[in-house]
Amino acid sequence: AAEHTARAEILMTQDAGYLEAEGMEKTWRFKQDQLKKEVDVRTKQKMFSLDLDKFGPYALDFTLDGRYMLLGGRKGHISLMEWQKFKLETEFHVQETIRDVAFLHNQAMYAVAQKKYTYIYDNDGLELHCLRNHSDVNKLAFLPYHFLMVTVGMTGWLKYQDVSTGTIIAQHRTKLGQCHVMAQNPANAVMCLGHKNGTVTLWLK
């Protein structure tokens, strides 16, 4: 077994990628054009630049397979693209503030947290639903294995909505005021919230 492992290691010619700074260098100061000179051809082909200086700052999300990218600009710009092929699927303006965006299942539907309510659009930019139960939302997330959209916002309520039936199945009052930070643990669907007073809270449906 040891001999078989040693032979297999010969075939493993690449280490996992990482950045190594020399001396007083800081890795966060490395520029994209500097990195481009050092990486392989396949990685160079994946590098691109977007100039998004008019409608930002932007919230973004990727589909589970990493193929599609959704951008939502604070000033109302929404853009859906197949980023590896540099193909723009749809782009439109909603003429109001956008706080966050999130894909539901795949690129066919996505949620947008706008100024007052949360809306669901299809991949052509057609409005499918206006979710009035999710008002003043700051952050969106989607739990793909539970079919649940999760929102939190100005009111401090964490809400779970089943996107297959359209019903809110759980809502929790955080009692910590506005919330602007939310992330999910994909391993166990625990939602992590960051609050203004420095508290981090963990929630299960």
- What are the tens digits of pLDDT across the range 136-187? 999 999 999 999 999 999 999 999 999 999 999 999 999 998 999 999 998 8
* Dist. CA 17–CA 46, nearest whole Å: 15
- What is the separation, in whole angstroms, between the first and last Cα of the chain? 46
HSE, CB side, 13 Å, CA atoms: give it for residue 19.
Answer: 12
* Dist. CA 138–CA 136, nearest whole Å: 7
Compare 6 and 101 and report the one with higher pLDDT.
101
The pLDDT tens digits of the residues spanning 82-91 come to 988 889 999 9
Helix extents (H) in the chain: 2-11, 32-38, 41-46
Q: Which SS3 state, helix, strand or coil, does residue 191 take?
A: strand
